[in-house]
Chains A and B, each alone.
Chain A
Amino acid sequence: MSSSSSSSSSPPCPKKMITLKSSDGETFEIEEIAALQSKTLENMIDENCASTPIPLPNVKGKILAKVVEFCTKHAEAGADAETLRAWDAEFVGVEHAIVFDYILAANFLEIPTLLDLACESVAEMIKGKTPDEIRKFFNINNAFSPEEEEDVRRQNQWAFE
């Protein structure tokens, strides 16, 4: 047991950090252990592509900062479930446009915990709404023809009875 990191007397092993670069050129440092929550990043680390800043051309700096924060929080040892639950609720309690970006980022980076959280929160917004209310909520134009409309109604009728 010479100078291994497990010895308490030796200086702590520096945390292994990797650098991420957002679409708008900002760079972010994240601990490797936290980054491993992303399957996309995990693959890159496994293939030794993580020594230089990893470009993430479709995640804006504003969102990437939050994603790094999320991964770091979830990699923290010893956080009890209750605290984390509250933290998550706050994290996702933001403008809908940002939740949208969370979903895109989580999907691209393949972070299942973040994707679950973001989808759950969108689901929560949809629950109990009528199709018209959902359209309004998501700002969707109804592109169904009257015949399609009837067809859709018939197809989904079962769930309402």
Chain B
Amino acid sequence: MSRRLRRRVSKKGKEKVVAHSYTEFEEEVSTSEQNGDVNWTCLPDDTVIQLFSCLNYRDRASLASTCKTWRCLSASPCLWNSLDLRAHKCDSAMASSLASRCRNLQKLRFRGAESADAIIFLQARNLRELSGDYCRKITDATLSVIAARHELLECLQLGPDFCERITSDAVKQIAFCCPNLTKLRLSGIRDVQGDAISALGKHCPHLTDVGFLDCLKVDELALGNVASLRFLSVAGTSNVKWGVVSHVWHKLPNLVGLDVSRTDVGPAAVSRLLISSQSLKVLCALNCPVLEGDANFTVPKIKGKSLLAHFTDIFEGIASLFADITSKGKTVFLDWRNSKKTHKSMDEMMSWFEWILSHSLLRSAENNPQGLDDFWLKQGAPLLLILMQSSQEDVQERAATGLATFVVIDDEHASIDRGRAEAVMRDGGIRLLLDLAKSWREGLQSEAAKAIANLSVNVNVAKAVAEEGGIDILASLARSMNRLVAEEAAGGLWNLSVGEEHKGAIAEAGGVKALVDLIFKWSSGGDGVLERAAGALANLAADDKCSMAVALAGGVHALVMLARNCKFEGVQEQAARALANLAAHGDSNGNNAAVGQEVGALEALVQLTRSPHEGVRQEAAGALWNLSFDDRNREAIASAGGVEALVALAQTCSNASPGLQERAAGALWGLSVSEANSVAIGREGGVAPLIALARSDAEDVHETAAGALWNLAFNPGNALRIVEEGGVPALVHLCSSSVSKMARFMAALALAYMFDGRMDEYALVGTSSESTSKIVSLDGSRRMALKHIEAFILMFSDRQAFTTAAASSAPAALAEVTEGARIQEAGHLRCSGAEIGRFISMLKNPSVLKACAAFALLQFTIPGGRHALHHAKLMQNAGAARVLRATAAAATAPLEAKIFARIVLRNLEHHQAESSKGI
């Protein structure tokens, strides 16, 4: 293995290179041919190091753990120039374990106060650049120790979160300890006092770039004495005395760039600074309400000086600073990046622009002030795209976050601005974001994925993302070990999975498996990632084919686990929705049964119907509704307490959203298919709330409520309850005036059950002193019900078609009647033998119920209906043909009953012929 060290390619002379590697490569060829396979550990060191540099830290660590050679190479100093600890837990023990590799560390990024405390254990004495976020809890003590241990520090940045506990004392310590400091940017300090600033001026002679952002107070006078300053930002800082500023800062001899964005700076100070400073080239004042509000303000036109504001042309302003480049407008940044000539002061200035602009734009995006539409379309979006191509990683990240943020115009409803999203797409933003998402840097991955996710709410952008290969990229990011990356990628897949056309592509890219794995990986403590993964799976499960993929990947178990164990409402809601969608495919796949068989699934869903969160209740009820399609699930839901829970839900949802009302009634409808459950629902008090829901104006709600009442009314006890609770007028109203034919139909059938005589027997059996009065009031209800059932039947009976059909036995005439009477959705209804039997006996009823029963049987047996064959068989078993023939032939029967009965007979013949053909 010692061979390896010899292989480092010398770059001194070419002959030597050739000769040197000649012997080696020959050696290699022979070994590789001997083994019949290549020996990857023989790769030259340089290339292995390059391979490492393409990987994130986790993958590097994995690769380093494979063999001694690669372990050794993984510690190469060039792989430890810079370190980003933000995604990693960093405590003193962990930092100590890295110390031997951090000897030459130049650049470090960290996150949070705990990591800050651990930094000194890295013993990175050569550290030049330190940058941290989430620094709210960092103390003076920590910062002072960091400064003392890193004397070579040149650049220190803490923000954008406010460093609330840092005071001027720590700033003074920094000044004393770090004489090489050139750049100091701190956010959210309460009071930056004069003595601290003076200390900086005195002890840090190279300090050229200072930012005190979002501070409450800064000593303007002292800042005016830091002569070395070239760039200064006080963006977002309040209580600035602009009078002092305009009389002092213009004397700073080297000041080139000044950023006063997000402050209350006014026209007077701006003009004075621009006019009187000798050195100043750029004054950046984005989002300054006082300045923007002054209609009389005119920008002083001074050659070589620019004001950057929402109302000026930022690109032109920057381009005008380049004397030698003929850049026009938007190309200025690209020209600068591509230019071969290096011009140190211009480079510094452009880097500073990128930094302050990315900050200000992100802040504007976050606060989303009114009236910036034009700015975003013309300048903001192009700027963000250009900043995404910066060589500064933190600028790239902020620009991507800015893109993710500025398109969202309504957080609550997750709605995005179409114009802004399409502006990003038009300028090639999707490609840029996808490229960033492919980088090994996880900070970039997560921000880019977030932007892609948010932009993909727009269908055109989603289409572009899919076309540019974004689905593969997101699916691969969803496998990331970094929770933030995985979370944003899952969010992207969630939004993309809304589009029918993307579902298959997501499954093909392995997205389903990745999403299911995410649930197992972060099953505890990753609310955000779990919600997004479950949400994406919910959308995917709505597709028949993808729902199979979800089940195959272990999705049923994963989602049930979430429904059972997760305490976070967003996750519960999406998990329940996903289970509902998985179970929505009825007989076309086995997922419905599979969900029910998962241990604890039904119990968990029943439990979730009691959630304090409306969305959770709604999706849980929806899931139970779909699951109750399966006979075994239905009874299992009932034994898990589903009846009580759903009745309770129906009782409390009078003010809830139509979505919840629909599903609560729907679930009761599903359960009430068996008479035992029906009885239980009646006993638990389910009738009254269902009647209330049947009064709803929302079509979906009253339709499902009518379905549930229909099933309930089969039982005479329930029928009586419906009458007593005032259900007759509600059903009569539905039957005569709902916009939904299905609702009218089911309301009519409910009334038919109620008044076909069985309830009367029941009412008589329960003899009490009130029974007589009950029967009296029943008579009135019956008359009203029958009258409306008759009207309902007539609505579906075309007079002329009837006359023709009565006169001829031609199939065409009957077909025309069928067409006029047919209710499409009724084909989905499935009746039990008992129900069919009840309609058959209703055929003998002297009243209008005879026609009603024939009408119902007609709907249930129309060829092509999902359950028509099932119904036909039940009818054959019950000997319906004889009764139907009697009805058709009866002299006294109404015309409708006769014709409908003839059609049913024909339907039966059709099914009989079909099934004998099948055999």
Asked whether A159 lies within 8 Å of B44 as measured between CB atoms, the reply is no
A41-65 Cβ-contact flags toward B at 8 Å (1 or 0): 0011001000000000110100000
User: Which of chain B's residues have a CB closer than 8 A to the CB of A158?
Assistant: 57, 61, 88-90, 94, 97-98
User: Which of B41, B47, B57: most chain A CB closer than 10 A?
Assistant: B47
Asked whether A107 lies within 8 Å of B62 as measured between CB atoms, the reply is no
Given contacts A140-B67, A155-B97, contact A107 B46 (CB under 8 A): yes
A159: contacting residue among B24, B50, B57, CB under 8 A? B57
Asked whether B66 lies within 8 Å of A161 as measured between CB atoms, the reply is no
User: Which of chain B's residues have a CB closer than 8 A to the CB of A130?
Assistant: 62
Asked whether B21 lies within 8 Å of A119 as measured between CB atoms, the reply is no
User: Which of chain A's residues have a CB closer than 8 A to the CB of B68?
Assistant: 143-144, 148
User: Which of chain A's residues have a CB closer than 8 A to the CB of B88?
Assistant: 158-159, 161
| A96 interface hit (Cβ, 8 Å) | yes
| A84 interface hit (Cβ, 8 Å) | no
Asked whether A44 lies within 8 Å of B14 as measured between CB atoms, the reply is yes
Asked whether B67 lies within 8 Å of A142 as measured between CB atoms, the reply is yes
User: Which of chain A's residues have a CB closer than 8 A to the CB of B43?
Assistant: 100, 103-104
B61: contacting residue among A100, A101, A139, A156, CB under 8 A? A156
Asked whether B59 lies within 8 Å of A152 as measured between CB atoms, the reply is no
User: Which of chain A's residues have a CB closer than 8 A to the CB of B65?
Assistant: 131, 152-153, 156
Q: How far is the CB of B186 from chain A (nearest CB, A)?
A: 27
| A126 interface hit (Cβ, 8 Å) | yes
A128: contacting residue among B9, B59, B94, CB under 8 A? B59
Asked whether B54 lies within 8 Å of A58 as measured between CB atoms, the reply is no
A15-54 Cβ-contact flags toward B at 8 Å (1 or 0): 0000000010000000000000000100110010000000
B1-38 Cβ-contact flags toward A at 8 Å (1 or 0): 00000000100001001100110111011001000011
Asked whether B59 lies within 8 Å of A127 as measured between CB atoms, the reply is yes
Given contacts A40-B14, A123-B51, A127-B55, contact A157 B22 (CB under 8 A): no
A124-153 Cβ-contact flags toward B at 8 Å (1 or 0): 001111110011001111111000100011
Number of interface residues of B (CB under 8 A): 49
For the complex, give the distance between the alpha carbons of A24 and B46 in Å: 26
CB-CB nearest in chain A for B7: A107
Asked whether A107 lies within 8 Å of B44 as measured between CB atoms, the reply is yes
| B203 interface hit (Cβ, 8 Å) | no
For the complex, give the distance between the alpha carbons of A65 and B59 in Å: 33
| B337 interface hit (Cβ, 8 Å) | no
Q: How far is the CB of A69 from chain B (nearest CB, A)?
A: 21
For the complex, give the distance between the alpha carbons of A142 and B68 in Å: 9
| B632 interface hit (Cβ, 8 Å) | no
Given contacts A58-B26, A128-B479, A158-B90, contact A96 B97 (CB under 8 A): no
| A108 interface hit (Cβ, 8 Å) | yes
For the complex, give the distance between the alpha carbons of A65 and B227 in Å: 62
Q: How far is the CB of B387 from chain A (nearest CB, A)?
A: 20
| B763 interface hit (Cβ, 8 Å) | no
For the complex, give the distance between the alpha carbons of A60 and B28 in Å: 12
Asked whether B62 lies within 8 Å of A131 as measured between CB atoms, the reply is yes
Asked whether A123 lies within 8 Å of B64 as measured between CB atoms, the reply is no
For the complex, give the distance between the alpha carbons of A100 and B24 in Å: 16
Asked whether B71 lies within 8 Å of A159 as measured between CB atoms, the reply is no
Asked whether A152 lies within 8 Å of B64 as measured between CB atoms, the reply is yes
User: Which of chain A's residues have a CB closer than 8 A to the CB of B18?
Assistant: 57
Asked whether B21 lies within 8 Å of A126 as measured between CB atoms, the reply is no
Asked whether A119 lies within 8 Å of B64 as measured between CB atoms, the reply is no
CB-CB nearest in chain A for B55: A123
Asked whether B54 lies within 8 Å of A119 as measured between CB atoms, the reply is yes
For the complex, give the distance between the alpha carbons of A161 and B29 in Å: 40
For the complex, give the distance between the alpha carbons of A60 and B61 in Å: 33
Q: How far is the CB of B82 from chain A (nearest CB, A)?
A: 15
User: Which of chain A's residues have a CB closer than 8 A to the CB of B89?
Assistant: 158, 161
User: Which of chain B's residues have a CB closer than 8 A to the CB of A47?
Assistant: 14
Q: How far is the CB of A66 from chain B (nearest CB, A)?
A: 16
Q: How far is the CB of B74 from chain A (nearest CB, A)?
A: 8
A143: contacting residue among B9, B59, B67, CB under 8 A? B67
| B481 interface hit (Cβ, 8 Å) | yes
Asked whether B21 lies within 8 Å of A161 as measured between CB atoms, the reply is no
| A77 interface hit (Cβ, 8 Å) | no
| B60 interface hit (Cβ, 8 Å) | yes
| A94 interface hit (Cβ, 8 Å) | no
For the complex, give the distance between the alpha carbons of A52 and B90 in Å: 59
For the complex, give the distance between the alpha carbons of A51 and B21 in Å: 23
Q: How far is the CB of A101 from chain B (nearest CB, A)?
A: 8
Asked whether B71 lies within 8 Å of A152 as measured between CB atoms, the reply is yes
Asked whether A157 lies within 8 Å of B94 as measured between CB atoms, the reply is yes
For the complex, give the distance between the alpha carbons of A96 and B38 in Å: 9
Asked whether B25 lies within 8 Å of A104 as measured between CB atoms, the reply is yes
Given contacts A58-B22, A108-B25, A161-B94, contact A131 B54 (CB under 8 A): no
User: Which of chain B's residues have a CB closer than 8 A to the CB of A140?
Assistant: 40-41, 66-67
For the complex, give the distance between the alpha carbons of A103 and B64 in Å: 19
For the complex, give the distance between the alpha carbons of A120 and B54 in Å: 6
For the complex, give the distance between the alpha carbons of A44 and B9 in Å: 17
| B882 interface hit (Cβ, 8 Å) | no
User: Which of chain A's residues have a CB closer than 8 A to the CB of B60?
Assistant: 159
Q: How far is the CB of B153 from chain A (nearest CB, A)?
A: 23
CB-CB nearest in chain A for B70: A140
CB-CB nearest in chain B for A106: B47
Q: How far is the CB of A18 from chain B (nearest CB, A)?
A: 15
User: Which of A43, A58, A108, A158: most chain B CB closer than 10 A?
Assistant: A158
| B440 interface hit (Cβ, 8 Å) | yes
A160: contacting residue among B46, B54, B481, CB under 8 A? B481
Q: How far is the CB of B24 from chain A (nearest CB, A)?
A: 8
CB-CB nearest in chain B for A108: B21
User: Which of chain A's residues have a CB closer than 8 A to the CB of B426?
Assistant: none
Q: How far is the CB of A129 from chain B (nearest CB, A)?
A: 6
Q: How far is the CB of A82 from chain B (nearest CB, A)?
A: 8
Q: How far is the CB of A87 from chain B (nearest CB, A)?
A: 15
Q: How far is the CB of A83 from chain B (nearest CB, A)?
A: 13
User: Which of A100, A115, A153: most chain B CB closer than 10 A?
Assistant: A100
Asked whether A157 lies within 8 Å of B97 as measured between CB atoms, the reply is yes
A107-122 Cβ-contact flags toward B at 8 Å (1 or 0): 1100000011001101
| B567 interface hit (Cβ, 8 Å) | no
Q: How far is the CB of B103 from chain A (nearest CB, A)?
A: 15
| B838 interface hit (Cβ, 8 Å) | no
User: Which of chain B's residues have a CB closer than 8 A to the CB of A107?
Assistant: 9, 44, 46-47
User: Which of chain A's residues have a CB closer than 8 A to the CB of B14?
Assistant: 40, 43-44, 47
User: Which of chain B's residues have a CB closer than 8 A to the CB of A156?
Assistant: 61-62, 64-65
User: Which of chain A's residues have a CB closer than 8 A to the CB of B58?
Assistant: 159-160
Asked whether A126 lies within 8 Å of B97 as measured between CB atoms, the reply is no
User: Which of chain B's residues have a CB closer than 8 A to the CB of A134?
Assistant: 62-63, 66
User: Which of B60, B63, B97: most chain A CB closer than 10 A?
Assistant: B63
For the complex, give the distance between the alpha carbons of A127 and B90 in Å: 23
Q: How far is the CB of A32 from chain B (nearest CB, A)?
A: 17
Asked whether A154 lies within 8 Å of B440 as measured between CB atoms, the reply is no
| A97 interface hit (Cβ, 8 Å) | yes
For the complex, give the distance between the alpha carbons of A129 and B758 in Å: 69
Q: How far is the CB of A114 from chain B (nearest CB, A)?
A: 11
User: Which of chain B's residues have a CB closer than 8 A to the CB of A119?
Assistant: 47, 50-51, 54
For the complex, give the distance between the alpha carbons of A28 and B94 in Å: 54
Q: List 21 A-B contacts (CB under 8 A).
A: A43-B14, A47-B14, A58-B29, A60-B29, A97-B32, A100-B38, A103-B43, A119-B51, A123-B51, A123-B440, A126-B59, A134-B62, A134-B66, A139-B39, A143-B68, A148-B68, A153-B65, A154-B97, A158-B57, A158-B88, A159-B60
Residues of A within 8 A of B (CB): 23, 40, 43-44, 47, 57-58, 60, 96-97, 100-101, 103-104, 107-108, 115-116, 119-120, 122-123, 126-131, 134-135, 138-144, 148, 152-161
Extra contacts besides A119-B50, A126-B59, A161-B88 (13): CB < 8 Å: A40-B17, A57-B25, A122-B51, A126-B55, A127-B476, A131-B65, A134-B62, A154-B97, A155-B64, A156-B64, A157-B97, A158-B89, A159-B61
Closest 10 CB pairs of A and B: A58-B25, A123-B54, A156-B61, A159-B61, A131-B65, A161-B89, A138-B40, A159-B57, A100-B38, A158-B94
